[in-house]
A and B are shown apart, each in its own frame.
Chain A
Amino acid sequence: MHWTINGQRYEAEPDIRTTLLDLAREHLGLTGSKKGCDHGQCGSCTMLVNGRRINSCLSLAVMHQDDEITTIEGLGQPDNLHPMQAAFVSHDGYQCGYCTPGQICSAVGMLDEVKKGFPSWVSDDLSSPSLNDQEIGERMSGNLCRCAAYPNIVDAIAEVAGLSEDQRQTSQKVSG
């Protein structure tokens, strides 16, 4: 079997039950994507598949042979960070760092969803949602962070999204 990950072709013969996450971690040496629950409950394993964020622990590797897969290693490297990675560093959008690759992949995918007009539960305008802190918090709630860097994660994403202070504070209603 073969995969295209971060623009590179990989070949392996994993068990048919191997998830995309375990393929990366256990067969290809790409351990940047993390396993926190193996049940799609924590988001640590988030990867971008054809540009969309997915929980890679909930998807079988065999299903993704024709897809373009991006993991945290493909976004940027320690000496050449992606703007989202750099923003997480400068805003301290992490502590232990374990959920962080998932948070960053999720944030990159999320900004693209907003750009494409995907609404969320807290969107005032379903046809043309705009980003603010509340939208970021809502859309990033599939990525748990037990160290609880949430306010810093929101700061990092807002900076990358280029939001002004006024834009960030729009629609700060209490919401269920």
Chain B
Amino acid sequence: MFGLGDKNSSNSLVMNTAHPDSLLDKGAQDVIGKPISRIDGPLKVSGHAAYAAEYGLANVAYGFLVGSTVGKGKITELHAEVAREVPGVIDVVVDYKTFLRNSQQGGEKKAPTQGVENVDYVGEPVAIVIAETYEAARDAAERVRLAVEYQEQEGRYSFNAYREEAKKPPYNNIPSHYDQGDVEKALAEAPVTLDRTYTTPSQNSAAMEPHASIASWDDDGRLTLYASLQMLSSDRQQLADALGLKLDKVRLVARYVGGGFGSKLGIAPESVAAAIAAKKLGRPVKVVMARQQVFEATVRRSNTEQRIRLGANADGTLTAIAHETICSNLPGEGYFEPAGQSTHFMYGGKNRLITHDLVELDWMLSGSMRAPGEAVGMLALETAMDELAETLGMDPIELRRRNDPDKDPEKNVPYSSRMLTQCMDKGAELFGWSERREALGDRRGDWFHGIGMAGAGRSNILMKSAAKVTVDGQGHAIVETDMTDIGTGTYTILAQIAAEMLGLPIEDVTVHLGDTDAPPGAGSGGSWGATSSGSSVYLACEALQKQIADKMGVEVGAMTLKDGRVIAENRSVPLAELVGDGINATGQVAPGLQAKLTTQASYGAHFAEVAVNAITGETRVVRMLGVFAAGRILNEKTARSQCLGGMTFGIGAALTEEVVHDPRNGKVVNHDLAEYHVPVNADVPALEVHFLDERDVHANPIHAKGIGELGICGAGAAIANAINNAVGVRMRDYPLTLDKLLDQLPPV
């Protein structure tokens, strides 16, 4: 497994077989899993962590994007001259062919769709104004925006008007259509059936840091782009492809990223515009998207329409599951919202139909947002399960327990690890589930209270990822990878893994992230970051352990590493002394057969109590509790925060978040944070998070599974089910706002 050298080595692992023993369980440092505060914390809380737009390059010019004013058409005249009336304007850069029509999807190696002469959505960036100051660039860009002439064309702006034209898209991570057994026959024969349609609106990731790029070219024609991105390795490929550059001519830097939630998986239009303008001007150009541009011209989560049909025996055993979904995207974009993703493996049932169809619309691009698929798919599935339980007169936990399969119901392979029922049982006990009453049975003053629950499941993914770890002459470790930390805690958990493996205090580990000059990491997305990047650090450290053992003249297993000392055979030698000038190793992990031989996912259970106002119909979340099993928890503090974040996204999806498209031109009407309602502090009560002890030996050598998106999966459905328990009203059109409820409340 090792390619051993004296000073450096590499260690790679393809997950073809289970990895029953993890060296993390043998470490003596005892830092793994501990709720250590983020090592990047002091920089963040003091304002010293530099985000994309905060690199102080000399002689930087400011760029401001010009967005289209029409939904569909062709530019006939772009009056750049109006910009010159504004003092301080340097240039208006127009490159119809090269500019990006839209952002790229995550992990793609090619440029996203290019070409902006033909406009496909309102806000499509068609030009960029460059000025000496931000104020001049913004002012001139607005003048240019209103001076572009278009030959307008008829567009498709209404989902309902075109939903009949939905087509089957190509495979995209999961098959768009899946059919097993005979669903229609099973439904016809089932003693109990349910047939419901749920809808979810477009949503926006709304990361607090807007998309931003500073482009700077050196004399050798190499571009450095300081940007706010999640997956640097593939983003670099996309940018190089878009600009026609060799890969080694592009360097991306993203040491701190102010949130992503999917919206920064691929490069966005400002990156190429900044690069082209900087090249043309011969000086660095900084482009920060305005919040409105983030809403209009990056990426949305698609709206969905989801029909769920369930067939069950009288004892609740599912005989049929049909989950048929429709979503929307720009013409030519194959990405579909995989809303049925977790329906494939959550529950048993012999006859199954899971489909995804796509409607072409002239709305902005749709793509991945936190837990693509499950986040909205489980709003439907987990509400449907609650409705079925109600129909059966059965406790919703009991219904799920009876349909918790012992192997994957489609692939006929075992689950790598699965603690869904344990999560539900633990949650029920902690939350006080047994005190649940009938609808309208718990009124306190003007408020009806109710409680609800939902299951959570999120696919676990391993991605190819590499990291280099060095132990320097002082006995300190340095971790290097182009992996990112978008708030997920990457800096800290990678330090914990290295500290545990090398027997170092956490203070003696330095982590450098977010620079493509370092080995290519997995990037942040799909909840794979900690497990993939963490495994690469683990593997590098495993190779270092071997080197250290060789220097000590002992077998690896006979050696203890702790507090910077190497202890074996009654000797205790400082690591610094042993390594001389320093040693290093590279670790690389890649997915293998285990991904096919087992079905891998993280699981959980959500419990929510809501209060619904008897007079206004307003819903408030009173308390929420989640129990999660995601393999080894690498840092209890940052993992808990990930779950808090996911659950809060669930509150938003259930109650407030909706991107509204103008039916006349597709424009995002509510394109800012005053009109697109993300949960605020007062919307979020004290949330409780609990973890079950679990190890997943099939997932990776660190035995952890993804957790970044698990908290959102099912969270909103628990709230919907709690509303139903409070007032006996089932709303199926998210978000569940008071206007959809008011006329169904009991008379005041």
* In contact, B259 and A174 (Cβ under 8 angstroms): no
Chain A residues engaging chain B, CB cutoff 8 angstroms: 14-15, 17-18, 22, 25-26, 29-39, 41-42, 44, 71-73, 75-79, 81, 85-86, 88-90, 92, 94-101, 104, 122, 133-134, 136-138, 140-154, 174-176
Residues in A with CB closer than 8 Å to B410 are none
A147 / chain B contacts, CB cutoff of 8 Å: 208, 259, 487, 641, 645
Cα(A165)–Cα(B170), bound, Å = 55
Whether B672 and A39, one on each chain, are in contact in the complex, defined by CB atoms closer than 8 angstroms, is yes
Q: Which of A25, A26, A149 lies in contact with B641, CB distance below 8 A?
A: A149
Interface centre among A15, A17, A76, A148 (most CB of B within 10 A): A148
Q: Which residues in B have their C-beta under 8 angstroms from that of A88?
A: 41, 45
Chain A residues with Cβ under 8 A from B557's Cβ?
none
Q: Could you tell me the distance between the alpha carbons of A89 and B492 in the complex, rounded to whole angstroms? A: 12
Which of B466-474, B579-587, B682-690, B692-700 touches A?
B682-690
What is the total number of residues of chain B having a CB less than 8 Å from a CB of chain A? 72
Complex alpha-carbon distance, A89 and B35, angstroms: 12
The CB with the most chain B CB atoms within 10 A, among A26, A99, A133, A136, is that of A26
Interchain nearest-CB distance for A95 vs B (Å) = 3
Inter-chain contacts of B256 with A (CB < 8 A):
96-97
Nearest CB in chain B to that of A90: its residue? B37
Chain B residues with CB below 8 A from A174, complex form: 444, 447, 611, 620, 622
Q: Is B746 an interface residue (CB 8 A)?
A: no
Asked if A137 and B210 make an inter-chain contact with CB atoms under 8 angstroms apart, the answer reads no
Q: Given A44-B208, A146-B208, are A32 and B42 neighbors across the interface (CB < 8 Å)?
A: no
> Is B146 positioned at the interface, with any CB of A under 8 Å from its CB?
no
* Selected contact of B45 from candidates A35, A41, A94, A152, CB within 8 Å: A94
Interface class of chain B by DSSP? loop
Would you call B134 an interface residue if the criterion is a C-beta within 8 Å of the partner chain's C-beta atoms? yes
Query: Which of B51, B447, B644 is within 8 Å of A152, CB to CB?
Result: B644
CB distance from A58 to the nearest CB of B (A): 12
Residues of chain B within 8 A (CB-CB) of A94 are 41, 44-45, 487
Most buried by A among B135, B447, B613, B682: B682
List of 5 A-B pairs having minimum Cβ-Cβ separation, nearest first: A32-B47, A98-B258, A96-B487, A97-B44, A95-B487
B489 within 8 A of A: yes
Report chain B residues within 8 Å CB of A78: 42-43, 46, 48
* Docked-complex contact A32 and B134, CB < 8 angstroms: no
**Distance of A79 from chain B, by nearest CB (Å):** 7
Question: Please, could you name 27 A-B residue pairs with CB atoms under 8 Å apart, sorted by A?
Answer: A14-B133, A17-B135, A31-B56, A34-B209, A39-B672, A39-B673, A41-B673, A78-B42, A79-B42, A94-B41, A95-B638, A97-B45, A98-B258, A140-B681, A141-B681, A141-B683, A142-B680, A144-B673, A144-B678, A146-B208, A146-B259, A146-B678, A148-B644, A150-B644, A150-B648, A174-B444, A174-B622
Smallest beta-carbon distance A30→chain B, Å: 8
Q: How far is the CA of A150 from the CA of B687 in the complex (A)?
A: 9
Say whether B390 faces chain A, with CB atoms less than 8 Å apart.
no
Q: Is the CB of B687 within 8 A of A151?
A: yes
Question: With A32-B47, A78-B43 known to touch, is A96 a contact of B681 (CB < 8 Å)?
Answer: no
Q: Which chain A positions have C-beta within 8 A of B595?
A: none
Chain A, Cβ-Cβ closest to B447: A174
Quick check: is B290 within 8 A (CB to CB) of the other chain? yes
Contact of A32 among B37, B48, B209, B447 (CB under 8 A): B48
Alpha-carbon gap, A101 to B209, bound state (A): 13
Q: A78-B48, A133-B686 are in contact. Are A149 and B645 (CB under 8 A)?
A: yes
Q: Mark B120-142, 1 if CB is under 8 A from A, else 0.
A: 00000000000001111001000
A-side contacts of B682, CB under 8 Å: 122, 134, 137-138, 140-141
Residues of B within 8 A of A136 (CB): 681
A35 in contact with B134 (CB, 8 Å): no
Q: Inside 8 A of A141's CB, which chain B residues have their CB?
A: 680-683
Smallest Cβ-Cβ distance to A138: which chain B residue: B682
Report chain B residues within 8 Å CB of A89.
37-38, 41-42, 45
Contact of A72 among B41, B46, B647 (CB under 8 A): B46
Chain B residues with Cβ under 8 A from A148's Cβ? 644-645, 647-649, 679, 684
Q: Which of B43, B50, B133 has the most CB of A within 10 A?
A: B133
Residues in A with CB closer than 8 Å to B685 are 151
Q: How far is the CB of A48 from chain B (nearest CB, A)?
A: 13
Question: Contact at A144–B680, with CB atoms within 8 Å?
Answer: yes
B647 contact set on A, CB distance < 8 A: 148
- Closest A residue to B686 by CB, please name it: A151
Provide the residues of chain A in CB contact with B206, threshold 8 Å. Answer: 146
